[in-house]
Amino acid sequence: MTAQTTPAGTPALPTFYVTTAIPYVNGDPHLGHALELVQADVLARHARLRERPTRFLTGTDDHALKNVTAARAAGREVGEFVAEHVEDFRALRPALALSTDDFLSTSTDPRHRPGVEALWRRCADAGDFYRRSYEGLYCTGCEQFYSPDELDASGRCPEHLPLPERVVEENWFFRLSRHADAVRDAIVSGRVRINPAAKRNEVLAFLDAGLEDFSVSRPASRSDGWGVPVPGDPSQVVYVWWDALTNYVTALGYGADPAAPGSADDYRTWWAGGDERVHVIGKGITRFHAVYWLALLLSAGEPLPTTIHVHDYVTAGGAKLAKSAGTAVHPVGLVDAYGTDALRWWFAREVPLLGDAEFTTERLVARHDDELAHGVGNLVNRTLTLVHRFRDGRVPALPHDRATGPDELSAAVGQVGRAVDAALADADLRAATGAVRRIVDAANRYVDAEKPWELAARERAGEEGAAVLLDLVLARLVEACRVVAVELSPFVPDGAARLREQLGSPQGAQTAGPDRVGTPTPVFPRLG
C-alpha cells in the first residue's frame, strides 16, 4: 500500500479506483451496460461508505469502426452521430442513480488523445512495434480478428451472428508474444487478480495456448480517418481496442503536458501511486483486459491493474442482450416503469457471480416486492409503528449491558459489515445483499418472538421489568433497521436514503434532543 496520509497526518485508508469497460455508441444502451455500471457503482459506493478515497470512471468508446458503419447506414456525419449517442449513455447516470466521478468520451475529451499517443510512444521506444501485411477474419461487432478455430461450427463469431469479414491490410503490430511470460507471472503471482477463479483459469488456458502478435492499427482510409492517428504515420489510425483501453489512464491525465500545473496529479494518486486499480468488465472482453492491456502496460513500464472482475451476461429468452441481435432491453424504460431501486435490486439479487442471468419483468417485480416491499419495508414500517405507539416516536436508549446473550439478530447485525466487505471484495453482490437480508429476516422473527404488543400490555398492568424489556426490544429493532439502511445504501441508494430519513440517527452524547424516528410511510411500494 502507498503511504498516504490525511492533512492531520494520520494514515489514510487505501485508495480505490474502479472503472467499467466503455461501450460502443452505435446504438442505444441496453440492460447489459446497466448491469456493469451498477456493479461498479455498488463497489464505489461501498468503498466510500467505508471512508476510502474513491474514484469511479466510465465513458464511451467512440472510435470503433462499427460506429462509423452505423453512422453511414443512418446517413449521418460520424462525429455528430457519435456525439448524439454519447449523450444516451450519459443519461444512464441519473436513471441508474450512479455515483460516477468522471465520464470520458474518447472522441471529444481533450485528455484522451495525448495519453493514447504517449502510451504508443512508450511501447515504440521499447521496440514492441513492427509493420506488416495481414489477412484474417474480422468481426466488426467485436472489433477483432479471429482465427478459424475460434469461430463456431458455422464459421461465425462466438459473440455475434454475422459472418466475419475477410480483411487484407498492412498494419502496425504489437509484439504480444514477447510479454507472454510476464503477463502469466503477473496473474499467477496474484499481482493481478482475475475474479472469479474460473475466469482466471480461462485466461491462463489462453496464455498456455500461445500468444500471437496482434494488429494495433488500421488504415485510416477504412474509417475515413475516424480515430487517433498513429504517431508518425498518419496513414494509420490506432486500433480501437488500444485506443479504448487507454481511457483508464488518460482520464487521469496520463500523457498530459508535464508543464501544466497538476497535470499528472490524478495519475499519481489513482494509478501510479494508488492502492487498488479495479476493472469491471464483461466476459466477452476478458482477453483484451487480462492479456492485451497488461502487455501494453508492461511494455510501457506502467503499473498494472490490481483486480479484474469479470461478469457474465444478462439474457432474455436465453439469448445475450445485444443491439445487433435485436434483443436489447433499454434500462431507462425499465426505470420509468418500475423505478431505479427495483432494477438495481434485481441486478444485486439475481445476477450470480458466475453464470448468465435470465431477465424478465416478472422476476424484477417479484424480487422487489418479496424482499424490498415485504421484507425490508414491512420490518421498518412495523418497527416505526411500534415505537410511535408505545414510546411516542422516541427510541429508547440501548443499554450497554444488553444481557440478551448471543442470538440470531445479534449475530446478523454484528457480522454484516465483515460479510459485506468480504463479498464485495469478490464483486459478489448476491452474497453481500444476502448478508443484509439475514438481518431483515432475523429482525422480523425477533418481533414475532418477543411480541412487543404483549410487553406493552404487561407494562400497562404494572408488571415489574416489562417496561425495560419493551425498551430493549424497540431499541434493538431500530438499531437493526438503521444498520440495514446503511448497508443497503450501495445497492439501492435512493431507497436507503428514504429509510434513513424515516429512521433518523442515534443521538450522541453531545447532541441535544431525544432520539426520534419519523412517521412510517411505504419506502418500497409494491409493484405487482
- Cell 432494477, residue located: 343
Q: Is 512 left (phi over 0), alpha (psi -120 to 50) or beta?
A: beta
Chain-centre distance for alpha carbon 295: 24
Q: Is 505 left (phi over 0), alpha (psi -120 to 50) or beta?
A: beta
**Catalytic site includes residue 320:** yes
CB atoms within 10 A of CB 426: 16
**Catalytic site includes residue 123:** no
**Catalytic site includes residue 30:** yes
Q: Omega into 196 within 30° of 0, i.e. cis?
A: yes
* Residue among 63, 142, 179, 481 flagged as catalytic: 142
* Residue among 30, 63, 279, 309 flagged as catalytic: 30
**Catalytic site includes residue 157:** yes
* Residue among 160, 199, 279, 311 flagged as catalytic: 160
Are 485 and 498 in contact by the 8 Å Cβ rule? The answer is no
Identify the bridge partners of residue 55 per DSSP, sorted by sequence position. 17
Identify the bridge partners of residue 132 per DSSP, sorted by sequence position. 171
* Residue among 279, 289, 320, 368 flagged as catalytic: 320
* Residue among 63, 199, 323, 368 flagged as catalytic: 323
Are 323 and 30 in contact by the 8 Å Cβ rule? The answer is yes
* Residue among 46, 66, 139, 179 flagged as catalytic: 139
Between β-strands 102-105 and 54-60, what pairing exists: parallel, antiparallel or unpaired?
Answer: parallel
**Catalytic site includes residue 142:** yes
**Catalytic site includes residue 323:** yes
Give residues with Cβ within 8 angstroms of 87, minimum separation 6: none
**Catalytic site includes residue 160:** yes
**Strands ordered across the beta sheet of 193-195:** 102-105, 54-60, 16-20, 276-282, 307-311, 193-195
* Residue among 33, 63, 179, 368 flagged as catalytic: 33
Dist. CA 50–CA 62, nearest whole Å: 34
Dist. CA 18–CA 152, nearest whole Å: 34
Residue positions annotated with a catalytic role: 30, 33, 139, 142, 157, 160, 320, 323
